Amino acid sequence: MVTTEEHDKCVLELRKKEQRNKRRRERNAEARREELIQVQHHDRSSHVAGAEKKLLRNRQRREVNAKKKELREQEYARLEGVGLLQNKRSKRLVQLASSRGLVVDCSVEGSIDKGNDIVGQRIHLHGEHFTSTENEFPARCEGVLHDQGSTSGSIMAFQPKLIPDVSPGQTSWTAKVVVAEKNVSRTAQRSPVKYQNMVLVDPQGNKVHATIYNNDITAFQDTLLLSKTYLISNATVRHTDPKYKATAGPVQWTINGRTRIEELDENHDDLVFSTYDLVSFDNLQEYIGLQR
């Protein structure tokens, strides 16, 4: 049987144990609160640092864009003085160079047609780490364009190449031609490839056979019209397959999406009706079976 003294002693020990557990719980709770405060402070500091870095990057980006914009405005003001920006193709090329943060040094070549209209303009853009000659193309613009690379400021005549002067592998060339013949599109006998043949003639009567393939046929169906005159730049030039040389000539052109074409308001009907070659009956066998 438990005495009163033993009972009181047991109760006292239980109270002391409960107090110790309470103090332990309070210490643990305080430690958790301090840890949570430290984590929140660290997160807040990291967030502030990240926000400051983002603001700095945005500020630097705005400064760079402002410099580029100022550079473009200066270039546009200079180039507009020679009439370059009146031509959409020229403007796109200038924008391309300016978007790369490049100072454009532009030289222009053109030949006078009527009044101040210049036909056959060629544009050369040069800048630091940038030289574009592949983007040369014929264009038509208004105003007198002077050669910026010339101290005399005289206009340099642009002379399109003749067909015999365009050789395989050559780039950055422009030729003036008339569409003398244009056949309907066909499908190859042994493949699903579609092709369309045509005959082009330069002002001196030189001929070349040109071919358009697949989707490019639709792209150029309203561009290369019979008896019309065009400036053609950078068609692919290849040696003709020997079995077709009798009818196609030494080289052939392939017109594709990289070819630049511009129609000219010129009449060369005399070239269109002088492209037929008469073959004697004795030599007819050389031409039999050579059509695709």
End-to-end CA distance of the chain, in Å? Answer: 124
Bigger pLDDT: 176 or 7?
Answer: 176
Q: What is the pLDDT of residues 255-278, one digit of tens each?
A: 998 898 988 888 877 766 555 555
* Across 113-124, average pLDDT: 38
Least confident stretch, 6-20, 43-57, 136-150, 210-224: 136-150
Please give the structure tokens belonging to residue 271.
Answer: 């070239």
SS3 18: helix
Q: Is residue 196 exposed (0-12), middle (13-18) or buried (19+ Cβ within 10 Å)? A: buried
Q: Residue 23 pLDDT > 60, yes or no?
A: yes
Please give the structure tokens belonging to residue 99.
Answer: 């978007």
Q: Is residue 211 exposed (0-12), middle (13-18) or buried (19+ Cβ within 10 Å)? A: buried
In percent, how much of the chain has pLDDT > 70?
61
Least confident stretch, 21-30, 78-87, 219-228, 265-274: 78-87
Please give the structure tokens belonging to residue 71.
Answer: 């550079």
CB-based contact 214:283 (threshold 8 Å): no
**Which long-range CB contacts under 8 A does 94-98 form with residues at least 24 apart?**
94/125, 96/135, 97/125, 97/127, 97/130, 97/132, 98/68, 98/71, 98/72
How many CB atoms within 10 Å of residue 174? 20
Give the list of residues 6+ apart from residue 33 with CB closer than 8 angstroms, or none: none
**pLDDT of res. 52:** 81
**pLDDT of res. 243:** 74
Mean pLDDT of the chain: 71
Q: What is the pLDDT of residues 46-83, one digit of tens each?
A: 777 778 888 888 888 889 888 888 877 776 666 555 45
Q: Is residue 108 exposed (0-12), middle (13-18) or buried (19+ Cβ within 10 Å)? A: buried
When pLDDT is cut at 50, 70 and 90, the band that residue 141 belongs to is very low
**pLDDT of res. 7:** 77
Q: Is residue 24 exposed (0-12), middle (13-18) or buried (19+ Cβ within 10 Å)? A: exposed
Q: Residue 144 pLDDT > 50, yes or no?
A: no
**pLDDT of res. 8:** 79
* Across 14-32, average pLDDT: 88
When pLDDT is cut at 50, 70 and 90, the band that residue 171 belongs to is confident
* Across 208-229, average pLDDT: 90
Q: Residue 105 pLDDT > 60, yes or no?
A: no
**pLDDT of res. 221:** 84
pTM for the full predicted model: 0.44
Q: Residue 154 pLDDT > 70, yes or no?
A: no
